[in-house]
Amino acid sequence: MSTSEPKSWTTSRDLLLELPPDRRRRAGIEDAIRSAVRSGRLPAGARLPSTRALAHDLGVSRGTIVDVYAQLAAEGWISGRTGSGTTIATGALQHVPVDAMRPRPQTRWRFDFRPGRPDATSFPRSEWLRALRRALATAPSDAFGYDSTPGLAALRVELAEYLGRARGLRVGADDILVTTGFTQSLALLSRFLGRPARVAMEMPSMSLHRAIVRAAGNEVVPIGVDDDGLRVDELLDAREVAMLVLTPNRQHPTGALLSPARRSAVMAWARRCGAVVVEDDYDGEFRYDRRPIGPLQSLDPDLVIHAGTVAKTLSPGVRLGWLVLPRRHRSAVTRQKELADWQTGVLNQLAFAELLRQGRYDRHVRRMRLAYRRRRDALLDALRARVPAARTEGEAAGLNLVLPVSSATVEASLIAAARRAGIALDGLITGSYYETAGRPGVLIGYAAAPEHAFVRGLEALVEVLASALGPAPVNGPGRNRSR
């Protein structure tokens, strides 16, 4: 388009119309617009191009488009006023199937106590914006190119320093591959083996993670979990396992800590079998009643792949994660990243690198650790006072605890009662973790509710639990346990 063309042509909106072969016919243009409205592609209120611009784009006279708009307006499809432009009329909605008009509404909970979800309102918007502005002002132009599949060098340098200092990893910048979160990290690892394989996974574990492994053609080998974490005896009995995925520092969702003896046994098994160990460190920053536990990766960086994310510390919406890779796996996993999406978006990488460099990420994590500990304490105090039958597990760290119950029926009735009160809960059997019946229990996440709603939500939750459980013991003698 030449620079001499009228301004109205260059400033108007684009509109793609599916026209019949004889596209100059007025009736064909009218039908194309009606079809776009019926399909939901042009919703009520959508602005249409000016008659001059659409005529230019379609190669017809302006008079033809004026007649098209006049006919559609008469039929109630479009409306327009001088100076306001032409839009799809609200009355046109009667022609459109409801499912095509809008996405399906999501459940709106009064209070969200599902596990593994941080407080979305705690995202440090102002600090993130300042960090992004500083980074954009100084970032080299090549940071916005195609040459950073492993991740921006500036981020990997800062991240290596943080992971070594705060998480105890033995890591250099070249060991890190930046991803869009653990979901992508697991997908890359599920494919890099190069062939369908048997992958051992904890049970319970997230059904989505098991589905990702299976989607790559692999077979999931379920390994049980008890108070000391992964059942290594079951792992030793499994045949031809090529990869093990586990959460050793806080089993998700039970909160169990992998014991020292079992850590040693897992490492010995992996060395003997030549298997890959994937350590998911999903919320390692949040410890309340015990000292931080060193990662498996620090025991043998050549054997363990360490996976991390900012989903719990900053926000799942940031879509940033990382893999710390042994040298022997680096090229194969990086190749899978290239095939998946080539590279992770640079803007979030730049902002996160700046937060790390300035120490603001450390300060944010410390603030949230204190905030979540206070919530955890309030939840435990309320349960002791109002639901004496409750015996919790896994409360020493993380963003949720487990309330064991006597049966799957009790678990289902508790979750149903909470749902009727507008409270979102999850369970070990009726939720999204077990594939087969196992130990029943209710998962109570205390991080997701906004700060201003937490106290009211806690009151509503405790009322439901007290009404359902009463003063009788829930699951035998039990005890409040901190892991």
Residue 284 tokens read as 């390692």
Cross-strand partners of 226:
229
In one-letter notation, the amino acid at residue 118 is: P
Distance (Å, whole) CA 337 – CA 297: 21
Quick one: which H or E segment has residue 81?
A: strand 78-81
Q: Residue 100: its pLDDT value, please?
A: 47
CB count, 10 Å around CB of 100?
Answer: 12
CB-side neighbour CA atoms (13 Å) of 7: 0
DSSP H or E segment with residue 308: strand 304-309
Cis peptide before 253 (omega within 30 of 0): yes
- Sign, Cα dihedral of 112, 116, 122, 124: negative
Can you tell me whether residue 230 is helix, strand or coil? strand
What domains sit in the chain, N to C, each tagged with a CATH number?
A: 7-101 (1.10.10.10), 124-361 (3.40.640.10), 362-469 (3.90.1150.10)
Concatenate the DSSP letters of all residues of 393-436 into one string: BSTTBSSEEEEE-S-HHHHHHHHHHHHHTTEE-EETTTSSS-SS
What pLDDT sits at residue 348?
A: 97
Q: Quick one: pLDDT at residue 334?
A: 98
- Distance from chain centroid for Cα 86: 39
CA-based Rg of the chain, rounded to a whole angstrom? 28
CB atoms inside a 10 Å sphere around CB 299: 15
Parts of the chain with a pLDDT under 50: 1-3, 100-101, 472-483
Of 77, 56, 65, give the one whose Cα is nearest residue 25. Answer: 65
Kind and range of the H or E run holding 463 = helix 451-469
Residue 29, Cβ density class (10 Å: 0-12 exposed, 13-18 middle, ≥19 buried) = buried
Q: What pLDDT sits at residue 1?
A: 42
One-letter identity of residue 72: L
Helix pair 62-75, 51-58: axis angle to 10 deg: 120
Give the Cα separation of 207 and 477 in Å (integer): 31
Q: How high is the pLDDT of residue 386?
A: 95
Which tokens hold the place of 258? 């992998």
At 164, is the secondary structure helix, strand, or coil?
helix
Angle among Cα 235, 239, 244 to the nearest 5 degrees reads: 45
Q: For residue 288, give the H/E element and its range.
A: none
